[in-house]
Amino acid sequence: MSRFRVPGRGRVNPDRPVTFRFDGRPVQGCEGDTVASALLANGIHLMGRSFKYHRPRGAVAAGSEEPNALINTRRGPGRAEPNTRATMQEIWPGLEARPQNCWPRLSFDLGAVNDRAYMLFSAGFYYKTFMWPRSFWDKLYEPVIRAAAGLGVSPSEEDPDTYASRYLHTDVLVVGAGPAGLAAARTAAEAGLRVVLVDEHAEAGGTLLSEPQARIAGLPAWDWLTAELAALKALGVRVMTRTTAIGYYHQNMIGLCQRLTDHLAELPADTPRERMWRLRAARVVLAQGALEKPLVFDGNDRPGVMLAGAAQTYLHRFGVRVGDRPVILTSHDSAWHAAFDLQDAGAKVAAIVDTRAAPPAALAGEAQARGIRVLAGFTATATSGRLRVRSVRVHPVSAGTVGAGEEIACDCLLMSGGWTPSLHLFSHTKGSLAWDEDRTTFLPADTPEDCVIAGAGRGLWGIAATLADGAEKGAEVAASLGRGASAPALPVEGDRTGSGTSHTELATDRSPSRARAFVDFQNDVTAKDLRLAVREGMRSIEHVKRYTTNGMATDQGKMSNINGLNIAADALGRAQPKVGLTTFRPPYTPTSFGAFAGYHRGGHFEVTRRTAIDPLAEAAGAVFEPVGQWRRARYFPRPGEDMDTAVARECRATRTAIGMFDASTLGKIEVVGPDAVEFMNRMYTNPWTKLQPGRCRYGLLLGDDGFIRDDGVIGRLAHDRFHVTTTTGGAARVLNMMEDYLQTEWPELDVWLTSTTEQWSTIALNGPRVAELLRPLVEGVTLTEEAFPHMSVAECTVAGMPARLFRVSFTGETGFEVNVPAPMGPALWQRLAEAGAPLGLTPYGTEAMHVMRAEKGYIIVGQDTDGTVTPADAGLTWAVGKAKPDFVGKRGLARPDLTAPGRRQLVGLLTEDGTTLLEEGAQIVLDPAQPVPMKMVGHVTSAYRSEAAGRPIALALVEGGHGRMGETVHIPMPDRTIAATITGCVFHDPENTRLKLAAPGGDA
């Protein structure tokens, strides 16, 4: 048994010892211990070093509010986490826990030199000290400060754990499984509601775990707790422990982070480390309790100085006596019980020092009965001890005068400055707070969410009061959900009700400017810093916070905010509500990135859409590229080929034989209804009325502003049915835009839109021999120039499969697009590949497609346009139906700046040396000799090596480009300036002779 373990106390299992490592040495605890309780059981108070001064620190609390005892936990490669609270981390055999922020070792740390120089490191010190010279900031001061600051070290290895997420819906969520939460859950569940009860600790019970002396409904508190949890389970309540409500979002959406494996020695299979629950509750009961306030006095941060309530928890929940000779320093009744319980557990309490002149007589009597010395109306002005508190100096205070001091030896100092309701989640709801002068704290007032606060969270004190309040609030939410509920009163014996007073800094006989009286332990902010901030002009608590960093550490000011406010208000001479409380933001406690990412990592990082033909492309060794959510085959390299070689081969094959391309990702929308043609007329710039069924037209879609949004070939299948194609990336956006207009502007139209993008596998076939390939396979349409001219569409069969066959070309060669029901795509691809092999059929990818369309000057929306390009800019005026009464963007096109001269227009560019490939995105200037910054007149939008053109080609947007044909422009690059000639956009077969279909039997 460890030296400070108290036999017969605590909920840990002394028969199940657990050995873990701390700071490189083995430490033995019991099953049920946290790292902090196990260390304390072995008399180890020194657990870490502070952030700024590297002062030795120990656990000051016993819960998630702990600011000091931050450790690095490790479980083999990759499984390391910094800044873990030793007070929350459960131990398991083999756990490696390391202290942080110390070098070379915890007990002797070189960084502690900062502590000697503390007068230099006052509030805002880095703003003042490191201001000049200005140039030193980026290169010297900031990197050095950043390296020296921070707490733990970020893990550098990939995390092998998995993370999960789920949605959960419930009638009532209760946050906090203390007496108020348990009672609220019970009442709501008995009313027949679905109830979820969460608690961040390893077991439910809250304060009951630290108050076994109480009796509830005639049962010892722990027996009552066991029975109550069984009752809740029987009622179907989902009780989730190790689950932190990290944030309260709109409409009662609460984020819950559940820790599933951090307490386990062996990692179970298929089990994530953490799970983020997105819980939607009809009603929320916040029963988060209250947090104890430290007292602010010189030396209040030494290891061994601890909250009295934490000492109670270590004694009762973990069976650990935090010291043999404690001194209690308090302004609240609650700490007296810590003295009594520790005395009863074998400690020798040196003194109870109460700042109040007249603490309750009943408590004084109990102390006397135990022979404990009581010093009422006293203050503490200093502590001593290097790595552990050794003594505390106390003085009587009379009429504001601090009397003679006395040094009292101790091995721990248990303090209580009263209790602060935990308002974090309530604050997330944008709830308003009301200042309570009696309790010197803020209490919850109104919230826009369907939520209530029960128990100590709204300032109540004692088990009986919080149980009753929880039951009442449970009945209240049940009633608001239309359920009757009764809230039985439970008799409580041994309840420890009490009250206290609040302080700023404790009175002292020393110069306050030399006091190291800590307010924020994690960020090393002292009372002196706060007063300095006020002296230097900070008026709002928000400014004080940022200037001093009070409350800005990972504990979010759980222990420091209220003390900081009281001191700032005192320094300003204004009431606390006038100074204000800073806003609490999610998450309530630090939360891992993994928990937020959930399943979305690795191969599941984001949605990757694949066509039906994708597996064949993969088998053929295609190199893929992401296009929107899709992955598309970019090129099909043969052994030894790089991209340029493969793309050149694919282009050559298409222009001399047949190229085959998976165009399935093209967006497709079926527009159906008697008003289909009217709808098309209104949406697209082109006229559609005269387009006959069986014919296609290139369609151009603008936004209201007149700029190009999308384009695609559109086939008319019947008088009331169009097969619209869109760009791959624009499919969803175009459908949404169409639905917007249909539903909000033209609801009178009888026309409906159906996404058919994925109904079809689309295979594009291009090249002079394509008719040879298709004629034997196509039934239902004659493939001649007369019967099926360019820009035709027919429903037919291809290789026995039902198909929509389009005669279109995005390469300038004779072209077809075969659409078959998506699942048939792979079979058609294979059939075409086999049948086409003797004809030289070659699959090509998006890169060759890009090259060939650029050779023909066909634009790609989003590459050659950027949302500021009009049809005229792109040379597409021919696609705008000028006689039409209206279409989306018609009025936008009439805006003066859209018709003004000097707009950037799409042109071709040929580099004058005939060999240099321009860089996409490169800027263009007219005069390369002008001084920098030069006037840029445009940029390169597309650039490729082109075998068909015999040289590199490019498309560019250039100011007034259409009027600059033949002029030379210049493209400045980092190493040289490239000259290029402006040309038209068509680099290959400007007469479109190659689009024609060879006659049957004719030569290609």
Binding site for another protein (CB under 8 A): 164-169, 268-272, 278, 280, 599, 603-604, 607-612, 615, 630, 670, 672-675, 720, 750-752, 754-761, 821-824
CB of 377 to another protein, least distance (A): 53
Element (H, E) at 803: strand 801-807
> Do residues 383 and 305 lie in contact, with contact meaning Cβ atoms separated by under 8 Å?
yes
Residue 78 in tokens: 């990759």
CB of 164 to another protein, least distance (A): 6
CB of 271 to another protein, least distance (A): 5
From residue 873, how far is each of 498, 706, 868, 960 by CA, in Å? Answer: 79, 11, 9, 9
Q: Closest CB to another protein among 641 and 720?
A: 720
From residue 213, how far is each of 37, 220, 320, 366 by CA, in Å? Answer: 21, 7, 16, 15
Q: Closest CB to another protein among 290 and 751?
A: 751
Q: Closest CB to another protein among 237 and 771?
A: 237
Q: How far apart are CA 473 and CA 284, in angstroms?
A: 10
Q: Closest CB to another protein among 204 and 533?
A: 204
> Do residues 314 and 80 lie in contact, with contact meaning Cβ atoms separated by under 8 Å?
no
Q: Closest CB to another protein among 732 and 934?
A: 732
> Do residues 289 and 422 lie in contact, with contact meaning Cβ atoms separated by under 8 Å?
yes
CB of 588 to another protein, least distance (A): 22
How many of the other CB atoms lie within 10 Å of CB of 759? Answer: 14
Q: Closest CB to another protein among 608 and 782?
A: 608
DSSP state at residue 318 = T
Q: Closest CB to another protein among 390 and 831?
A: 831
CB of 576 to another protein, least distance (A): 41
Select from 48, 5, 8, 14 the least CA-distant residue to 32.
Answer: 14
CB of 752 to another protein, least distance (A): 4
Residue 660 in tokens: 């085959």
Q: How far apart are CA 452 and CA 183, in angstroms?
A: 14
Does residue 442 sit in helix, strand or coil? strand
Q: How far apart are CA 27 and CA 91, in angstroms?
A: 10
Q: Which residue(s) pair with 553 in the sheet? A: none
CB of 874 to another protein, least distance (A): 30
Select from 600, 561, 592, 565 the least CA-distant residue to 579.
Answer: 565
Q: Please enumerate in sequence order all residues whose Cβ is within 8 A of that of 747, keeping only pairs 6 or more positions apart, or say none.
A: none
Q: How far apart are CA 525 and CA 510, in angstroms?
A: 19
CB of 819 to another protein, least distance (A): 10
> Do residues 843 and 763 lie in contact, with contact meaning Cβ atoms separated by under 8 Å?
no
Q: Please enumerate in sequence order all residues whose Cβ is within 8 A of that of 604, keeping only pairs 6 or more positions apart, or say none.
A: none
Q: Closest CB to another protein among 528 and 668?
A: 668
Q: Closest CB to another protein among 755 and 983?
A: 755
From residue 122, how far is each of 117, 504, 508, 561 by CA, in Å? Answer: 10, 19, 20, 19
CB of 794 to another protein, least distance (A): 17
Q: Please enumerate in sequence order all residues whose Cβ is within 8 A of that of 204, keeping only pairs 6 or more positions apart, or say none.
A: 177, 182, 197, 225, 229, 239, 241
> Do residues 542 and 548 lie in contact, with contact meaning Cβ atoms separated by under 8 Å?
no
Name the one residue in this structure whose structure tokens are 């820009």.
791
CB of 479 to another protein, least distance (A): 22
CB of 283 to another protein, least distance (A): 15
CB of 887 to another protein, least distance (A): 22
Show the beta-strand stretches assigned E in 105-177: 163-175
> Do residues 783 and 775 lie in contact, with contact meaning Cβ atoms separated by under 8 Å?
yes
From residue 292, how far is each of 137, 295, 308, 380, 810 by CA, in Å? Answer: 40, 10, 8, 18, 72
CB of 741 to another protein, least distance (A): 16
The region that residue 252 occupies, defined by phi over 0 for left and psi between -120 and 50 for alpha, beta otherwise, is left
Show the beta-strand stretches assigned E in 564-643: 623-627, 630-635
Q: Closest CB to another protein among 654 and 761?
A: 761
Q: Closest CB to another protein among 318 and 760?
A: 760
From residue 160, how far is each of 163, 637, 995 by CA, in Å? Answer: 10, 34, 55
Residue 92 in tokens: 């398991």
Does residue 825 sit in helix, strand or coil? helix
Q: Closest CB to another protein among 373 and 604?
A: 604
CB of 688 to another protein, least distance (A): 17
Q: Closest CB to another protein among 349 and 751?
A: 751
> Do residues 17 and 32 lie in contact, with contact meaning Cβ atoms separated by under 8 Å?
no
> Do residues 351 and 373 lie in contact, with contact meaning Cβ atoms separated by under 8 Å?
yes
Q: Closest CB to another protein among 713 and 801?
A: 801
Q: Closest CB to another protein among 268 and 484?
A: 268
> Do residues 291 and 422 lie in contact, with contact meaning Cβ atoms separated by under 8 Å?
yes
* Amino acid identity, position 869: V
Q: Report CA torsion sign: 922, 927, 928, 933.
A: negative
CB of 598 to another protein, least distance (A): 9
Q: Closest CB to another protein among 260 and 451?
A: 260
CB of 608 to another protein, least distance (A): 6
CB of 244 to another protein, least distance (A): 18
Q: Closest CB to another protein among 823 and 901?
A: 823
Q: Closest CB to another protein among 720 and 967?
A: 720
* Amino acid identity, position 253: M
CB of 670 to another protein, least distance (A): 5
